[in-house]
Each structure stands twice: as C-alpha cells, then as structure tokens.
Amino acid sequence: MAQPNLSLRQLRAFLALADQRSFTQAAATCHLSQPAFSALIRTLEGELNTRLFDRDTRSVELTAEGRLFAASARRLVGDFGAALSDLNDHVERRKGRVHIAALPSLAAGWLPAVFAEFRKAWPGIELNLSDLLSDACVDLVRSGRADFALASTGVSHAGLSTRLVCTDRFYLVCRKDHPLAAESAPTLKKLAPYPFIHMSRNSSVRQALEAALHPQQANTVLEVDQLATAAGMVEAGLGISVVPALTLFHFERKTLVTRPLAASGLTRKIYLVRRQEGSLSAAAQALHDLVMDTMKARTP
C-alpha cells in the first residue's frame, strides 16, 4: 500500500471536526466554506482509505479508526508547530549556538567586549570560544566544529575562504631603564645585540618576526608560549621582546614601555576564515558581522 500524501491543512481540518463535531463550526474555525471543508475531509479519508467520521443529519462522531488517528494527528500537528516555533526562534536570534575560534591574543584582548555586546543583544544564543594558535583555529573551521575563525593564516586552504580583516603592527617591549626605551621608533638592527624573549616557533608572532629578521637572528635567551609569561620575563630584566599591537594589553605594567618598530615590512595580518560552501546560521552571521565591524573600528 502506498503511503498516503497528507497535508497539514487536512490534519488541522480533521482535528477541528473531531473537536467541534459539526461541519459548519469546524469549517468556520478553518476559515473555509462548508463545501470546501467537506471536500477536504473526504480527500483525507480517501488518502487513508478509511472512514474517520460517522455522520448523519444530526451528529458527527469519530469512528474507531478516527479515534485511533486523532492522537497521532494531534502529535503531528503539535510537533510541526513546535518545529516552526523553534525555527523562528533561531531565525529571529532568540535561540541558537555559535562557535568561534580565535588567536589567544584576540580572545583575551578585545573579543570579550564583543561577546558582551552580542550577549546583551541576543541573550538566548549560546556562545562557544576556542582560543588556539592559528593552525588549530583553521582546523576547527575545516572540520565544521567552528563556524568561523580569526587567525593569522592567509594561505589558501581547500574548502575555506580567508578574508583580510586587519593588519597588526609590531612593537618593542622593554623595561623603562633599558637603553632602547629612549628610542621613539627603534629599528630591528638596533634590537640585535640585546637578549631577546621569543614566542614559541609555531606562534604567528614568532613566524612574522623571523621572516622580517631573516637572515639576521635574534639573540634569544628564552622561548615562551604565553604572552603573559613574556611580559613577566621582560619585566624581570631578562630581555626585550617584540609583539603585535593587539597584544599590548599584556604589557601594560608600570616598569615597561612599548615603542613602535621602524620596520614597515613587519606586520601580522589577521584573517577571518570560514568554509566556502554553505551559509552561516542566523546566530553565527550576527556574530560574524559584529566581529567584523568591531575589529575594523578598534584595530590600532
């Protein structure tokens, strides 16, 4: 037996008649003429190949099969209504979930204010953040676990699109009593003799700095993973460091100074990375747009 082709309109008409037990009243409830309503019920019974109502000139009653079908019909109509309501909540951004991956310096710097603004506008949307190095951020997007990422990679990846969001300048960080503190815009050459605190080799900061220094090498005395660690080591007088402008909040200490480097080629580019295929959800698109607007406004 072929599966019946039922419509929501038929199910609602059936339930209206089951409740009203009157073709006239049920037709009015469904905003249909009585002949059109009667035809809808006949079509439904034809699709199901069974009578759902016993009717005469005085009464309309459910048959045994009609009573059996009523419970399922109510559940189907209820589930459809709940599905529409849930979808509308997501479209109107009353509900939803967004997962963003971002470089730690961005995640700790200006992204909290963006999240706070987003949460205020759409409190029902769940926010998820992965603060990771660039390659790991890109991997989350590629695997579909993150909606989009803020990373320093501009290399073309199959299935992904990258959009340049901002270019981050680099700054010298040193103690106030360091000889370089007197320089308004030191060159990379002037940094060479001094002990240097380097970030880890797989960080975007290290990669950009080594590319600018090549073939020259820094006088590395320590290599650390965290910017806060680098700040502590510089403050202790163990060496100087060079970091992007978006990370300078880590170095806001009374004993330290920051100076823009006179090195036009030394920059770190920040990209928004997302999958090429498919659109973002309404919630993810809202955060995407807010991130883009905020980053452009706040880029040093």
171-189 per-position pLDDT tens digit: 999 999 999 999 999 988 8
Position 300 confidence tier, pLDDT thresholds 50, 70, 90: very low
pLDDT of residue 233: 95
Say if CB 195 and CB 234 are below 8 A apart.
no
Confidence of residue 140 (pLDDT cuts 50, 70, 90): very high
Beta bridge partners of 170: 244
Residue 115: per-residue pLDDT? 93
C-alpha–C-alpha distance, residues 59 and 70, integer Å: 18
The C-alpha angle 282, 79, 96, rounded to 5 degrees, equals: 20
Residue 243 pLDDT: 92
**Whole-number pLDDT of residue 275:** 92
Q: How many CB atoms lie within 10 A of CB 253?
A: 14
pLDDT tens-place string over residues 33-83: 989 999 999 998 888 889 999 888 778 999 989 898 998 899 988 888 777
Q: How far apart are CA 146 and CA 144, in angstroms?
A: 6
| Average of per-residue pLDDT values in the chain | 87
Angle between helices 64-91 and 8-20 (to 10 degrees): 130
User: Which percentage of the chain shows pLDDT scores above 70?
Assistant: 93
- What's the CA gap between 258 and 174, in Å, rounded? 7
d(CA 178, CA 180) in angstroms, rounded, equals: 5
Is pLDDT of 268 > 60? yes
In terms of DSSP bridges, do strands 195-199 and 219-224 run parallel, antiparallel, or are they unpaired? parallel
d(C-alpha 258, C-alpha 175), whole Å:
9
Q: How far is CA 260 from the centre of its chain?
A: 33
Tell me: pLDDT of 25 over 60: yes
With beta carbons less than 8 A apart as the criterion, state whether 167 and 237 touch.
no
Measure the CA–CA gap between 31 and 27, rounded to whole angstroms. 6
Q: At what angle do helices 282-298 and 64-91 cross, to 10 degrees?
A: 10
The pLDDT of residue 281 is 87
Contact 213, 188 (CB under 8 A): yes
Q: Could you tell me the pLDDT band of residue 89, with boundaries at 50, 70 and 90?
A: low
Which pair of tokens denotes residue 49?
């190949």
Phi then psi for residue 102, to 5 deg, are -150, 150
Q: How confident is the model at residue 255 (pLDDT cuts 50, 70, 90)?
A: very high
SS3 245: helix
Q: pLDDT of 205-254, one tens digit each?
A: 888 888 887 777 888 899 998 889 999 999 999 999 999 998 999 999 99
What single letter denotes the amino acid at residue 268? R
Residue 167's pLDDT is 85
Q: With beta carbons less than 8 A apart as the criterion, state whether 72 and 52 touch.
A: no
At 90, the pLDDT band (50, 70, 90 cuts) reads: low
pLDDT band at 256 (very low <50, low <70, confident <90, very high): very high
The residue count for the chain:
300
Q: Strand runs (DSSP E) across 79-210, as ranges?
A: 96-102, 125-131, 148-151, 160-175, 195-199
Q: What are the residues whose beta carbons fall under 8 Å from the beta carbon of 42, sequence distance 6 or more?
A: none
Residue 174: its pLDDT value, please?
A: 96
Cβ-in-10-Å burial (0-12, 13-18, 19+) of 153 comes to: buried
> Could you tell me the pLDDT band of residue 298, with boundaries at 50, 70 and 90?
low
Are 205 and 180 in contact, with CB atoms under 8 Å apart? no
Beta bridge partners of 220: 196
